Structure 1
Amino acid sequence: MLKDKGTYMLIIKCLNEVKVNVGSLGILSFNPDKTYVYVGSAFGPGGLWSRIKRHLTRCKKKFWHIDYLLASRNKCYIETIIVIPCLRVEHDLAVTLSKVADGIVKGFGSSDCKCSSHLMFFSITASEVVSTIKEHLRYRKYKYKVLPPSFFEGVKD
């Protein structure tokens, strides 16, 4: 499943308020009372496995908006990972989740897409957000897998 290409979601929490200069988006604030969901896709070499391993690496060259948020000096971390193998549904999920989220971070992660954002936030716990997402995925009959970040620790490519 993880060697496949596909779409993924990162459920992100911040330990305290974080202000991040996110390249062209400028300085953005992230709140510890919110649960953030980033929707991305991995259709390049290495598929889902390589992309998620990269996101879990704290020190890296910043290429995507999400890299700025997950950089080592920030107190934000990935709590849960949801993968949808073999399907290019990044835009669909970003639009759908934006409708049920409490808000979006405008322009975040959507430079190559027509939707408003690929990062949205919720005022509920991470586990409640995961339940909401699973409900939407089941409704759409998408096969998915929910993984903790520890799944990727110490495992070689």
Structure 2
Amino acid sequence: MKGLYVLVLALGEDLRVVTRGGRVFDLPRGVYFYVGSARGPGGVESRVRRHISKSKRLFWHIDYVTSNPGARVLGYFAVTGKGIREYVLSTLLSEVFEPVKGFGSSDDPAAVSHMFRCQWSIPECLERVSRTLGGLGVTVKFIRAP
């Protein structure tokens, strides 16, 4: 399935990320959501498998997080529906969660971020994402990582 997704990550320790472009992001341990799209071959499932893999070429900002041993992908929300864009998901999540300013949004200058930190428990964080995105009139399904 091609489309949008919201990756769910847990950082077991504080993490400093320095991207190939020299951007520095300090991420305190906790639960994070990353908004992405996968329109190429393999779609969302293929992209999430790449995120889960610790060994990969570091290309996107999120690669610098998911390749770290202290980061664990818990799963993802698959978001399907016509006309929905990353910017819409990012904007809604920024109203509920703390944005990591500039993370993953260099190709989406209108968005403050594509990465968000949740300060509640994992179940509460997942429920808040479901509730927030559920009002869009799209299908939102959480899939646990293997």
**TM-score, normalised on structure 1?**
0.85
The structural deviation recorded for 1:35 is 1.5
The structural deviation recorded for 1:25 is 5.1
Aligned counterpart for 1:17 among listed residues 14, 23, 29: 14
Task: Write 1 or 2 for the structure with the bigger share of strand.
Answer: 2
Q: Deviations over 1:69-110 (max 9, x none)?
A: 111x43011112110135443110101100111x21111111
Task: Answer whether contact 1:13 1:79 (CA < 8 A) is retained.
Answer: yes
Aligned counterpart for 2:116 among listed residues 89, 113, 120: 120
Q: 1:83: which partner in 2?
A: 78
Aligned counterpart for 1:64 among listed residues 42, 50, 60: 60
Instruction: Check if 1:74 corresponds to 2:69.
Output: yes
Residue identity over aligned pairs, in percent, reads 31
Q: 2:26: which partner in 1?
A: 29
Deviates more, 1:104-113 or 1:21-30: 21-30
Q: Distance in 1 between matches of 2:86 and 2:5?
A: 8
Q: Which runs of 5+ in 1 are unaligned?
A: 151-157
Aligned counterpart for 2:127 among listed residues 119, 125, 131: 131
Matching residue's letter, 1:31: P
Matching residue's letter, 1:59: S
TM-align CA RMSD: 1.5
| SS at 2:72 equivalent | strand
**TM-score, normalised on structure 2?**
0.90
Q: Distance in 2 between matches of 1:42 and 1:22?
A: 21
| SS at 2:131 equivalent | helix
Q: 2:39: which partner in 1?
A: 43
Q: Deviations over 1:101-132 (max 9, x none)?
A: 1x211111111112111001121122111101
Task: Answer whether contact 1:7 1:86 (CA < 8 A) is retained.
Answer: no
